[in-house]
């Protein structure tokens, strides 16, 4: 694959948007923690492990950690598909599914909505499986 074709891959755009999603979740987590603990805590060394004080800060921390658990697999699969190509389109559809589910997951988790949130999480795993299958099958 030549450089121009690789640069035009829709997978690279999704990787870029996924990085933006990651940054937004980390910033949201930091903002809520700072709101609870104050600017002096945020500016300090934060020695020791400080659990979130409130429900919302705890939820955003767990949602962020959940994203970071599957994020390396998404990036690896997306880059592999960008290099190898995706003639079936299943890999790209899987990547879109993963990304959409990750977007939907955040407000569901923050709102404390059970079961539906778990189904959305399973949808994101299905997206990763579709990406994997497009590479190996």
Task: Name the residue with tokens 């890999």.
Answer: 91
- Each residue's pLDDT tens digit in the chain (137 positions)? 677 777 789 999 999 999 999 999 999 998 998 898 888 888 888 887 778 888 999 999 999 999 999 999 999 999 999 999 998 999 999 999 999 999 999 999 999 999 999 999 999 999 999 999 999 99
Rounded CA-CA distance 11/58 in Å is 32
Is 21 exposed, middle or buried, given 0-12, 13-18 or 19+ CB atoms closer than 10 A? Answer: middle
pTM: 0.91
Six-digit token string for 104:
């939907």
The single-letter DSSP state of residue 65 is H
Rounded CA-CA distance 129/22 in Å is 21
Phi then psi for 50, rounded to 5 degrees? Answer: -110, 115
């Amino acid at each position: 694959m030549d450089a121009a074709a690789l640069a035009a891959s829709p997978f690279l755009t999704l990787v870029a948007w996924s990085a933006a999603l990651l940054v937004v979740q980390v910033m949201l987590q930091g903002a809520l923690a700072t709101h609870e603990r104050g600017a002096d805590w945020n500016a300090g060394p934060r020695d020791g492990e400080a659990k979130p004080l409130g429900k919302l800060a705890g939820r955003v921390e767990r949602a962020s950690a959940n994203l970071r658990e599957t994020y390396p697999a998404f990036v690896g699969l997306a880059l592999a598909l960008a290099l190898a190509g995706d003639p079936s389109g299943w890999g790209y559809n899987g990547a879109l599914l993963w990304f959409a589910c990750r977007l939907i997951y955040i407000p569901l988790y923050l709102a404390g909505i059970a079961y539906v949130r778990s189904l959305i999480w399973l949808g994101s795993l299905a997206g990763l499986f579709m990406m994997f299958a497009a590479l190996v099958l």
